[in-house]
Amino acid sequence: MVLIRELEQKILAQGKILPGEVLQVGSFLNQQIDTMLLKQMGDEIARLYEGNNVTKVLTIEASGIAIAYAAALSMRLPLVFAKKHSSSNLSGNLLTSKVFSYTHKQSYDIMVSGDFISNEDTVLIVDDFLAKGNALAGLIEIVNQAGAELAGCAIAIEKGFQGGGDALRAKGIRVESLAIIDSMTDDSLKFRPQ
């Protein structure tokens, strides 16, 4: 796939490896967004889940929103994003879950209004990163609370060596990652062939 190679090349050229197994891709995915690359990634996610009768795309604020929007736009579906903190802009019946953030070393609550995901939905979860899988686990819990069906997950960059993706796959959950990094040291980075 031309797109996958382009994404891998971009990670190699612009990604910065920081202490604590942090991969910084702020120049195209995380703070500055390469809109045309994200559009292609959204189109690819739509292609991967074509025919799965997905009704809603679900992500988590903040850095998941752009790629999830790109996927939802390509699928012509509504996008729902989980909020990380309580907000005066949320009320009524709430679906909630707890997530431990590996980056920030603390737990936080995530929540979605029960108005936006119901037991009639088939949900595709989209996020920018997958490491230990904590954010995905929280989002899957919300899908379950809603009584909705989970079509699967789609991720821009999976840090395969942190095991979260393979643990979900072992449970029978479909996880599609556009790039999977199998090893990462201070100065090198290896992708899983796919």
For residues 182 and 161, what is the distance between their CA atoms, to the nearest angstrom? 5
86 vs 194, which CB is nearer to a second copy?
A: 86
Q: Which residues make beta-bridge pairs with 126?
A: 154
Nearest CA to 25 out of 185, 127, 175, 157 is that of 157
Output the smallest distance, CB 43 to a second copy, in A: 12
Q: How far is the CB of 75 from a second copy (least distance, A)?
A: 8
Chain residues binding a second copy by CB under 8 A are 18, 20, 22, 24, 26-27, 30-36, 38-39, 61-63, 65-66, 69-70, 72-73, 76-81, 83, 87-91, 103-104, 112-113, 115-116
Report DSSP letters for 9-30, one per residue. HHHHHH-EEETTTEEE-IIIII
Nearest approach, Cβ of 103 to a second copy (angstroms)?
5
Comparison of 112 and 130: residue with beta carbon closer to a second copy? 112
Q: Which is nearer to a second copy, 29 or 178 (CB)?
A: 29
The region, left, alpha or beta by phi > 0 then psi within -120 to 50, assigned to residue 20 is left
Q: Please give the single-letter amino acid code of residue 163.
A: G
- Nearer residue to a second copy within complex by CB, 27 or 166: 27
Per-residue DSSP letter, 53 = -
Q: Pick between residue 35 and residue 144 the one whose CB is nearest to a second copy.
A: 35
CB of 69 to a second copy, least distance (A): 5
Give residue 116's Cα distance to chain centre: 18
DSSP string spanning 93-114?
Answer: SEEEEEEEETTTTEEEEEEEET
In the bound complex, what is the minimum distance in angstroms from residue 172's beta carbon to a second copy?
28
Report the residue number, 145 or 167, with the smaller CB distance to a second copy.
145
Least Å distance between CB 89 and a second copy? 5
Q: Are 81 and 56 in contact (CB under 8 A)?
A: no
